Amino acid sequence: MLTLPADLRSEFKEPMGPVTTDTDELLDRVTRTRADHDAPAAPLIAVGDVVTYHLREAGTDPNVALLDGKTEREAVAAEIRRALADAGESRLAVENPAGELSRELLVALREAIETPEATVIEVTGEEDLAAIPAILAAPLGSSVVYGQPGEGMVHVAVTPDTRDRAHELLAGFDGDVDGALAVIGVGSADHAGMNGDGE
């Protein structure tokens, strides 16, 4: 559905939020983000096996976890694979090639955000770009967490500003951007003003 053009790749090397290696600090940020938006049930969305592993080791299951069995394009350690085998109350399987955002990943992401039980999206391919649509699809006060290679975990509080930035990034992709936005629900009442085209 969408492909990341080569000239936009450098934009994705900059973290979209504060970076930490301390999971407790990260979870404090998640709690503060929910409180700041009076959204105690706002979801925590983890993009990546290692981030999800660290959250679970700290006693927190993300509401949505996107896993591809890799870290920095290498297979994750067997210990991490085993620890994530029972993650989530439900699982969705999708295909998403590297450097792309497939329609099925976007559909699964929206479904997982809207469902009350913790959901794992198992990705054949790569989930690296999923943080962008997650920021757009999640309600205000949510948190999107992903790994920054060689640095740590990035926490993105879902706010109007971070949504605007995610929208700018997504608009630079090749493909049906308006269709992708409609799939994740941008243009609905929850995202008024973000995309005037509606669903």
CB atoms within 10 A of CB 75: 12
79 is in an annotated binding site: no
123 is in an annotated binding site: no
One-letter amino acid of 193: G
Pairing of strands 2-3, 100-101: antiparallel
How far apart are the C-alpha atoms of 166 and 162, rounded to whole Å? 6
68 is in an annotated binding site: yes
51 is in an annotated binding site: yes
Concatenating the DSSP letter of every residue in 57-85 gives HTT---SEEEE-SEETTEEPPHHHHHHHT
Cβ atoms of 122 and 94 closer than 8 Å: yes
How far apart are the C-alpha atoms of 75 and 199, rounded to whole Å? 37
Residue 9 backbone dihedrals phi, psi, to 5 degrees = -60, -35
Cite the annotated binding site by residue number: 49-51, 68, 70, 127
Cite the annotated binding site for GTP by residue number: 49-51, 68, 70, 127
